[in-house]
Amino acid sequence: MCGIIGYIGENKKASEIIDLLSMLEYRGYDSAGLSGYSGNKFELIKEIGPIDNLRAQISSDMQVSNAIAHTRWATHGASSIENAHPHRSSDGKWILVHNGIIENYKKLKNGLKTVPTGQTDTEVLVQY
């Protein structure tokens, strides 16, 4: 089952967000990701495997504002960086994490103008 950490506020060390995500490791997961506003853009960093793989992708002094982080337990699509959460809309306006299953995702996918690049059910909610 996935884990989700949300942070609303200014200039938090990304490593501290990852520390919080680590507290949810016991729930089980196959990949992890983090998105937060940093350096005038929303960074999106994802890795498969242990959370320490994600930690290795960030610098120790990286700070984020308004961040969200996720551990994924894949239900739809392989464990891959592409399928790991968070997912970003193709226009960059939305970033999404999700826990669970979207039963009617195939029907929703058929109605999208933007074809999702990954295989998850989740992406149908962030593309349009």
Using CB under 6 A as the binding rule, whether residue 11 contacts ligand GLU is answered as no
Using CB under 6 A as the binding rule, whether residue 2 contacts ligand GLU is answered as yes
> Burial, 92: exposed, middle or buried (Cβ in 10 Å; 0-12, 13-18, 19+)?
exposed
Using CB under 6 A as the binding rule, whether residue 120 contacts ligand GLU is answered as yes
Task: Report how many residues bind ligand GLU under the rule CB under 6 A.
Answer: 15
Q: Which of 6, 28, 100, 112 binds ligand GLU (CB under 6 A)?
A: 100
Q: In the window 28-47, what residues touch ligand GLU (CB under 6 A)? A: none
DSSP, collapsed to helix, strand or coil, labels residue 125 as helix
Using CB under 6 A as the binding rule, whether residue 75 contacts ligand GLU is answered as yes
Using CB under 6 A as the binding rule, whether residue 99 contacts ligand GLU is answered as yes
* Neighbour tally for 113: CB within 10 Å: 7
DSSP, collapsed to helix, strand or coil, labels residue 114 as coil
Q: What element of type H or E holds 15? A: helix 14-22
Provide the minimum distance between the beta carbon of 62 and ligand GLU in the complex, in angstroms, as a whole number. 24
Using CB under 6 A as the binding rule, whether residue 74 contacts ligand GLU is answered as yes
- What DSSP assignment string belongs to 53-89? HHHTTS-TT-EEEEEEEEEE--SSS-S-TTTSSPEE-
Using CB under 6 A as the binding rule, whether residue 127 contacts ligand GLU is answered as no
Residue ranges that bind ligand GLU, judged by CB under 6 A: 2, 72-77, 83, 98-101, 120-122
